Amino acid sequence: MSREELYQLQKLDTEKERLKDSIENELMNEKLLKLTKQLKQLKAEFETKKEEITKLKAEIKEKEFEDARVIRKEEEYKNKLYGETDHSPKELEDFQKKLTKTEENKEELEDEMLELMLDLEQKDEELTELEEKISNKSGEVKKLKEKLMSYEEDIQAELNEIKENKAELEDRIEEELVEKYNKLYLNKNARAVVKLKDNYCMGCRMTLPRNLINKVKQSVDLVFCENCGRILYWEEEVE
């Protein structure tokens, strides 16, 4: 009986659509997009931090050179002040002034170096933290991708099964009827075959005339709703 088969066909089509429009799939894809964005952001932060560290190290190196130069100068003035060579009081005063100035420079420089090193230490820590975050986020992305892939494989397997079942059913229905059904399914909001309940059509909720109802209940032929044109289906209530 084609009516029964068309009803089964519609069940398969409904299931097919439900699988395709899966909200779970959509949510997973949304989450994946979000995680991927976060990962990209973290990687960018990591690169910036690395650049900052490279700059900082170069700056420290420069200061170290400068410090070595200042230390040499300090030694030089000390030698002149306390060395064997005789100098005039005017010269000695001048050396003392220069030494004091150099010592001040050195102290300032060393304070700056200390600050830079503390900054470097802080940035190194931040880099390690970022590395950890990236590793965690990558793990999350990988896990979700795997989950999504296995989910999609499952869905595909189910869809394939539906396709097979549909082909089997369609083989048993006249081609003309399948076409008619397909058209109705498209035009009637995915409800081509509707149940008859308490004398009305479940598609359009119209009460149907007695003779039509009897025809649906008694004959094996296809009966269409007079109002909405859908195929009427009748199922004996199982008590």
Residue selected from 185, 225, 233, 234 as contacting Zn ion according to rule CB under 5 A: 225
Q: Which two tokens stand for residue 11?
A: 């069940």
Asked whether position 223 contacts Zn ion by CB under 5 A, the answer is no
The answer to whether residue 155 forms part of the interface with Zn ion (CB under 5 A) is no
The verdict on 204 binding Zn ion (CB under 5 A) reads yes
Options 9-17, 18-26, 58-66, 198-206: segment touching Zn ion (CB under 5 A):
198-206
Q: What DSSP string describes 79-108?
A: HHHHSSS---HHHHHHHHHHHHHHHHHHHH
Those residues whose C-beta lies under 8 Å from the C-beta of residue 110, and which sit 6 or more positions away, are 67
What's the closest the beta carbon of residue 199 comes to Zn ion, in angstroms? 12
53 vs 204, beta carbon nearer Zn ion:
204
Instruction: Single out the segment in contact with Zn ion by CB under 5 A; choices: 33-41, 96-104, 158-166, 228-236.
Output: 228-236
Query: Is 195 a residue that touches Zn ion (CB under 5 A)?
Result: no
Q: Is 208 in the site for Zn ion (CB under 5 A)?
A: no
Minimum distance of Zn ion from residue 203's CB (angstroms): 4
Least Å from the CB of residue 196 to Zn ion: 9
**Site for Zn ion contains 228 (CB under 5 A):** yes
Binding-site member from 12, 173, 184, 201 for Zn ion (CB under 5 A): 201
Residue selected from 181, 203, 213, 234 as contacting Zn ion according to rule CB under 5 A: 203
| b/e code 131-155 from CB counts within 10 Å (16+ = b) | eebbeebeebbeebeeebeeeeeee
* CA separation for the pair 33, 24 (Å, rounded): 14
Give yes or no for residue 227 binding Zn ion (CB under 5 A): yes
Residues contacting 145, CB < 8 A, separation 6+: 32
Q: What distance lies between CA 113 and its chain's CA centroid?
A: 43
Cα gap 216→194, rounded to integer Å: 11
Whether residue 123 contacts residue 53, with contact meaning beta carbons closer than 8 Å, is answered with yes
# residues near Zn ion by CB under 5 A: 6
Nearest to 187 by CA among 221, 233, 230: 230
Query: Contact residues for Zn ion (CB under 5 A)?
Result: 201, 203-204, 225, 227-228
